[in-house]
Amino acid sequence: MNITKILTVVFYLVSIGLAYFLVTSIANDIEQEKVIKAVEAKVINKLMQIRDAEIAYQAANGAFTSDWNKLISFVDTGAIYITERKETIIRLDYGADSIYVEIDTLGSVPVKDSLFSSDFEPSSLPNVPDSDKQFKIWADKINKSGVMIDVIEVVDPDPVDPTRLEDNEIKNRKPLRFGSRTDVTTAGNWE
């Protein structure tokens, strides 16, 4: 065999090896992206459950909580009160309006039944799906323009996506979270 045929065979084998490497690399990246999307969907669902529970807790108790045990107990045994609000507007003689507001409590429903499905387990609320970690939770009051306002932030401590870093400039590329320590919001960064 001459040198040209030998080089042709060698380059042919090398090109087949490189093609196989590229195809498997791309397939692995696609599979990893699917896994990341599936796990993040579970994390987002759990964050929405925590947000619903925290909003109900704040409505019932006047503030958010950063204590998982209080939140779990509230979800397990707490109640959401159903109220009816009636407003009566009375026109005064000098042209102004007076508003009379009447709020009547009609009853209550258990938090667990009204916010979650029947197979929901409240003790699993702080746990990050597909992980042995718990969400980081922070709740406090901050001063906004002279008014003390309740704020909350719940963060996934160990994102499955390696590109989700806390120091990212882009808000929706930070670890999955809802709320803020500095703004009055309960919005999630996935929304």
| Global confidence as pTM | 0.77
pLDDT of 1 = 66
Q: How many other CB atoms are there within 10 angstroms of residue 38's CB atom?
A: 12
pLDDT of 136 = 92
* Number of residues that make up the chain: 191
CA distance 79 to 181: 27
Q: How many other CB atoms are there within 10 angstroms of residue 40's CB atom?
A: 18
pLDDT of 95 = 77
Q: How many other CB atoms are there within 10 angstroms of residue 37's CB atom?
A: 11
Question: For each of the chain's 191 residues, which pLDDT tens digit applies?
Answer: 688 888 888 888 999 999 999 988 898 888 888 988 998 899 999 999 999 899 888 988 889 998 999 999 898 888 888 888 899 888 888 878 888 888 888 888 888 878 887 778 888 889 888 888 899 999 988 888 888 899 999 999 888 888 888 887 877 788 889 988 888 888 888 88
Q: Which two tokens stand for residue 96?
A: 């102004």
pLDDT of 118 = 74
pLDDT of 152 = 92
pLDDT of 137 = 92
Residue 56 main-chain phi, psi, to 5 deg? -65, -40
CA distance 160 to 178: 17
